[in-house]
Amino acid sequence: MAIKRSYYDGCAAAHALDLIGERWALLIVRELLLGPKRFTHLQAGLAGISPNVLTQRLNELEAAFVVQRRKLPLPASAWVYELTEWGRELEPIILRLAHWGVRSVLFTPPAGLGADAMMLSLRTFFDPHKAHGFAATIRIELPDDQFDAAVADSRITLARTGNGQVDAAIQVDSGTLVKLAYGKGDIEQALQDREFSFAGNKILLTRFLSLFTLPEGALART
C-alpha cells in the first residue's frame, strides 16, 4: 500500500495514524463495529460526509486492510462494507476515545446521536459492577434502527435485532435514551410525557437503564 499522506515517523503510533488518522476514517470504523453496512447506510450514519469523501476513505481503509467489501448472497445481492478481523481490533481504542472525550470541558451533550454511536456509547459507559446478578435482553427500537442489548455475567453484548425473544422492548429516540441511561431523565415522567413507549417487563427495563455511568468530570455537563 502506498500511503498518500504520511508523518514519515518511525513510531508505530505514527504509522497507525497514517492508516486511520484522516478525517472520518475512525468514524467509518465506528459505524461498522456492530456489523456490515451498505454505502447508503454508512452515509446516513455520518452526518455531513459527502459521497466522494466516503468513497475515498473506504478505498483507503480497504487498501490498509482495515475494511473489506463483500457481496451479500441472494436475494439481497448487494455490496456491503465490513471490518476485517484486524480492523475490529480498533473497537477498544474507539471506546476509550469516547470515554476520554466525554470528560472534555469543550464537549457538548449529544443531540441527534446516530443509532450506532448511541449503542456504542452504551457499551462504553456500561458499569459491570451495577450489573452484578442481573440478566436480561432488551430490544432498543430507535427511529432508524433496532438493536438487542443482552446483559449477563456483568457483561453487555449488542447486536442488530434478530428473531430471538426479549424481556422488554423500548421505543425511543436517541436524545431521550441519553437522558434515561445517564441519569438525567425520570422514567415515570418520561412515560407520562410520552417521550418513549415500552413493552414487556418494566422492572427489568428500569434496571437495565440504571446500568450506565459516565466518568467523573462528565456528569456536570450532561
Q: Amino acid identity, residue 69? A: R
Q: What is the pLDDT of residues 161-180, one digit of tens each?
A: 877 899 999 999 999 999 99
Topology match between the domains 12-89 and 115-221: no
For the domain bounded by 115-221, which CATH number is listed? 3.30.1050.10
Q: How far is Cα 140 from Cα 95, in angstroms, rounded to an integer?
A: 20
Per-domain residue ranges of the chain: 12-89, 115-221
What is the fold of 12-89? Answer: Arc Repressor Mutant, subunit A (1.10.10)
pLDDT value at 71 more than 70: yes
The whole-model pTM stands at 0.90
Is the separation of the CB atoms in 90 and 29 below 8 Å?
yes
Residue 60, exposed/middle/buried by CB under 10 A (0-12, 13-18, 19+)? buried
Residue range 180-217, pLDDT digits in tens = 999 888 999 999 999 999 999 999 999 999 999 998 77
pLDDT digits (tens, 9 = 90+) for 38-56: 999 999 999 889 999 999 9
Q: What is the mean pLDDT of residues 51-62?
A: 96
Backbone angles phi, psi at 34, to 5 degrees: -100, 15
pLDDT at 111: 67
Whether the predicted pLDDT of 220 surpasses 50: no
CA dist 72 to 38, 129, 151, 161, 187, Å? 10, 40, 30, 18, 40
- Mean pLDDT, rounded, for 63-86: 93
Tens digit of pLDDT for each residue in 124-134? 999 999 999 99
Mean pLDDT score of the chain, rounded to an integer? 92
